[in-house]
Amino acid sequence: MFKCTRCDRDFRDGVKCSVCQERFDFPCAGLTEAGYRRLGEDRRNNWRCTSCKDAKAPSPLNLPSKNTLSKNTPSVKSLSLVDMEMIASELKSLSSQMNSLPTLIASVKAIQADVADLKSIKADIEDLKLMKPEVADMRTSLEFVQCSVESLNSKITDINQEIQSLLKTKDDVVQLKQRLENFEDSMREFEQRSRMNNIEIKGVPMSPSENLFEIFSKLGDHINCVIPKNQINYIARIPMRNDKLNKTIIISVHNRYLKEDFVAAAKKRTIVPADLGLRVSVLGPDGVKYEQVFLLLSDAAPYMVKAAGDLQVLYPKVIHVTCLAHGINRLAECIRSQFKKIDSLVSNVKKIFLKATSRIS
């Protein structure tokens, strides 16, 4: 049995902070048991509580270093965009070096063929030593050939070393690619997890001197669900896909429970910009005075009638008036309902004349 550091309750299974070594049950840690199991052993050993995250405490785990890489290689999560670009450029450089490997191998084979030819020449030189008149010249040639062979052997040794270095570099390239793929997977998983804690607010008017923290605080006061500033990771406006002028406010909180409580409280209230002290400057430079909008003129289409009903939430004193033509049409419909026989007579006359044989032909 363990005791939770936050709620002081006993529990059998939970999580342990890798920095402060404190234990928490799953609700206080902001995780579910199934989600914690899916993290994997490394991420469970590297888990940190919210206090250590706020303090930006470093993780105790370190990734193993490679001979060709720096000893202070950062962890996958702390890699920045600059590190990714450096890794990508290094991969390109290594790939370009690998392109010359077939050429080097062909050169080695050619040099080996030359060495074999030189060895045969050396055997011929031994035969030529039997010729006394030409012994002196043959000695000079033999010394020269021997120096050439030694030089070629040293070159072959250097080329073999370069080949071994390229093969080792190839292994490093494979490892770097694998690390880059793991990093991309981790980034995608981190983004998916971070979106679970995001609160999206639409319809808030923009202003040049707005304070998003102040707007979010007023919204929390209005719905009686205030989230402290130290529980917010970041807050920003993000352009919408179909409307780049009106940007949505995104608030990232520390855990999903804060988000769910806030959304549940917001659904119970009807919120207008006036509740947050904001003004919509669409109809004039001073904004819309909601209490002074009295008339809405449109046709009598069903969707306009429904829209007028919805607008009464924002403009409580508005009166929906349809145009004169629709008013006359409604009056005529009312008269027809009162004089059904006359309406039937007019309808039959229309049918007779509209469907007459001479008219159809």
- End of a domain among 176, 195, 214? 195
> Residue 257 above 80 pLDDT?
yes
Indicate whether 162 and 121 sit together in one domain.
yes
**Whether residue 263 is found in the same domain as residue 294:** no
In-domain check, residue 361: no
Query: Would you state the pLDDT for residue 80?
Result: 60
Whether 185 is in a domain gets the answer yes
Compute the half-sphere exposure of residue 307: CA atoms within 13 Å on the CB side of its CA.
Answer: 11
Domain end (from 195, 216, 243):
195
Quickly tell me which residue has 């002290």 as its tokens. 277
Domain limit, last residue, from 242, 276, 310:
276
For 303-346, what is each residue's pLDDT tens digit? 888 888 888 877 888 888 877 777 787 788 888 888 888 888 88
Query: CA dist 163 to 103, 332, 361, Å?
Result: 11, 97, 95
Same domain membership, residue 94 and residue 41: no
| Same-domain check for residues 92 and 186 | yes
Q: Give the count of domains, the chain.
A: 4
Residue 111 · residue 156 · CB < 8 Å: yes
Q: How confident is the model at residue 134 (pLDDT cuts 50, 70, 90)?
A: low
Asked whether the predicted pLDDT for residue 358 surpasses 50, the reply is yes
216 within some domain? yes
Examine the domain organization and report whether 230 and 267 are in the same domain: yes
Does the structure show a pLDDT above 60 at 240?
Answer: yes
* Domain co-membership, 191 together with 203: no
With residue 16 as reference, give the H or E element that holds it: strand 15-16
Q: What is the CATH number of the domain that holds 46?
A: 3.30.40.10
Is residue 172 in some structural domain? Answer: yes
Quick check: is 283 in a domain? no
**How far apart (Å, rounded) are the C-alpha atoms in residues 107 and 113?**
10
Whole-angstrom CA distances from 149 to 141, 146, 162 are: 12, 5, 20
Sheet of 247-253: strand order equals 198-201, 247-253, 232-239
Tokens for 108? Answer: 């080695």
Using pLDDT thresholds of 50, 70 and 90, give the confidence band for residue 243: low
Tokens for 333, please give them: 């419909």
Is 324 contained in some domain? yes
pLDDT at position 69: 40
Where helices occur in the chain by DSSP H, the ranges are 26-29, 33-37, 41-45, 50-54, 81-99, 101-128, 135-195, 212-223, 256-267, 302-311, 324-338, 340-354, 357-360
Residue 55: band (very low, low, confident or very high) from pLDDT cuts 50, 70, 90: low
Token pair belonging to 316: 């409580």
Is the model's pLDDT at 120 over the cut of 50? yes
d(CA 316, CA 294): 8
- Does 190 lie in the same domain as 204? no
Indicate the pTM of the whole model: 0.30
Percentages helix, strand, coil for the chain (3-state, rounded to 5) are 60, 10, 35
Which pLDDT score is estimated for 82?
65
Average confidence score pLDDT of the chain: 77
Q: What average pLDDT score do residues 5-32 get?
A: 84
Domain range for 344 = 290-354
Label the pairing between strands 319-322 and 232-239: unpaired
Q: Is residue 47 in some structural domain?
A: yes
Q: What percent of the chain is predicted at pLDDT more than 70?
A: 80
Q: Is residue 151 part of a domain?
A: yes
What tens digit of pLDDT does each residue of 56-90 get? 545 444 434 444 344 444 444 444 666 677 777 77
Answer yes or no: do 126 and 166 share one domain. yes
Query: What is the average per-residue pLDDT within 89-112?
Result: 76
Question: Which pLDDT value is given to residue 233?
Answer: 85
Q: If you average pLDDT over residues 25-36, what whole number do you get? A: 82
Tens of pLDDT along 158-198? Answer: 998 889 888 889 888 988 998 998 888 888 877 777 678 88
Judgement on whether residues 183 and 89 belong to the same structural domain of the protein: yes
144 lies in the same domain as 47: no
What is the pLDDT at residue 31? 80
Q: CA–CA separation, 292 vs 284, rounded Å?
A: 13
pLDDT at residue 245, as a whole number? 63
**Tens of pLDDT along 198-207?**
888 887 777 7
Say yes or no: 182 and 202 in one domain.
no
